[in-house]
Amino acid sequence: MTEYTPTFYAIEWTAAGLRLLDQRRLPGEEVYLEFGDAVAVAVAIRDMVVRGAPAIGITAAYGVVLSAQQHGSHADWRSRVDQDIRLLAAARPTAVNLVWALERMRARLARVTAEPVRELLDEAEQIHGEDVSANRRMGVHGANLIGKGSSVLTYCNAGSLATGGYGTALGVIRTAWGAGKLEKVFACETRPWLQGARLTAWELLRDDIPVTLITDNSAAFLMQGKQVQWVITGADRVAANGDVINKIGTYQLAVACRYHGVKMMVAAPLSTLDMATPCGQQVTIEERPETEVLGLAGQAVAAAGAVAWNPAFDITPAALVDYLVTEEGVIAAPDREKLAAFTAALNPGS
């Protein structure tokens, strides 16, 4: 298996500040935007310039660095940075990585000494680097579960664009493809933002991995024809009982998997585990503007006067997940007891 070399970077810290690949413009244009303050970063997160739970957290961490740069000359700079942290946390509340990364930055803020910007940047870069490393380890763990000659279906985008680099679900697929295990890769289009068609297909093709797109409502028929053996997704949050909160549509894929005997794999870093939330039903599900459903690429597609319901995420019960793959190992048939034992083993004495 050859070493993976990135062909793009969705999140970069430069001398000018934070640089993000505008994912709203893909695949037609590769446009990079630069950000110099935390308020603009919060807007970018909210408006989906950047999306995907790990990527949102990393971006917000760099947003804290920008806040320290902006307010460092003020006597009350710490309170101003804390205010920006609260603003960043509210940008997209469902993804637990956002709050996790910001709490880590807040803890570092409390310890800074002579060089706040440098110290906060060190922490943000560490969060970024740890995510890439975690993704690569996750890819190996997940690929080890897949038999040679398998075909997989993925959903939304859980690749380099959604993380610090390499990807969660796509990290598993990249690793399995590099090991010669995969026969075919399918991707759902993923309405309403078409992250599968626009982003996942773009990423895979950049890596010379052939991909076959299907409409979201073709997935069960694909399974019925025994054309896939695995569905692999990422997660925006995993509750303490193993419930998975992910892009809307994940739940119906998991139901179809169970009926058709297709294995359901969720690849998620430890930062996505929310052991403080007992179950998925206690998570606030973000609802986005109805215009995203009523239109497509800026063009109205629905009858005038129609209304829409647009939850961004759904809740997949743990009982429908065959494997939860993390950077530290695999949990088969995850539940509350297994997750508690797994996390306790990683943090003895805590």
Largest CA distance in the chain: 66
* Antiparallel, parallel or unpaired: β 150-154 and 182-188: parallel
| C-alpha span between 144 and 96 (Å, rounded) | 27
Q: What is the per-residue pLDDT for 36?
A: 94
Q: What is the per-residue pLDDT for 3?
A: 64
* Domain 11-134 identical in fold to domain 139-346: no
Which residues 6+ apart lie within 8 Å of 290 measured at CB? 307, 308, 309, 310
Token pair belonging to 74: 């003020």
Query: Which of 131, 207, 236, 274 is an active site residue?
Result: 236
What element of type H or E holds 172? helix 169-178
Look-up: residue for tokens 């997949």?
Answer: 316
Q: What is the per-residue pLDDT for 2?
A: 54
Q: What is the per-residue pLDDT for 238?
A: 97
| C-alpha span between 125 and 230 (Å, rounded) | 34
Q: Show me where the domains of the chain are located.
A: 11-134, 139-346
Query: Residue 317: exposed, middle, or buried by beta-carbon count in 10 A (0-12, 13-18, 19+)?
Result: middle
Q: What is the mean pLDDT of each run of 10 residues along the chain (350 residues)?
A: 75 94 94 96 95 92 96 85 95 84 95 90 96 95 98 96 94 97 98 95 95 98 98 96 98 98 96 94 94 90 96 97 98 98 84
**3-state SS assignment for residue 91:** coil
207 catalytic residue (yes or no): no
How far apart are the two ends of the chain, measured CA to CA in Å? Answer: 38
Residue type, position 132, single letter:
V
**3-state SS assignment for residue 331:** strand
CATH of 139-346, one of 3.90.950.20, 3.40.50.10470, 3.30.70.260, 3.30.420.40: 3.40.50.10470
* Closest by CA position to 268, among listed 345, 334, 325: 325
Instruction: Judge contact between 221 and 188, C-beta under 8 A.
Output: no
Token pair belonging to 115: 């060089």
* Closest by CA position to 211, among listed 159, 256, 137, 262: 159
Domain 11-134 in CATH 3.40.50.300? The answer is no
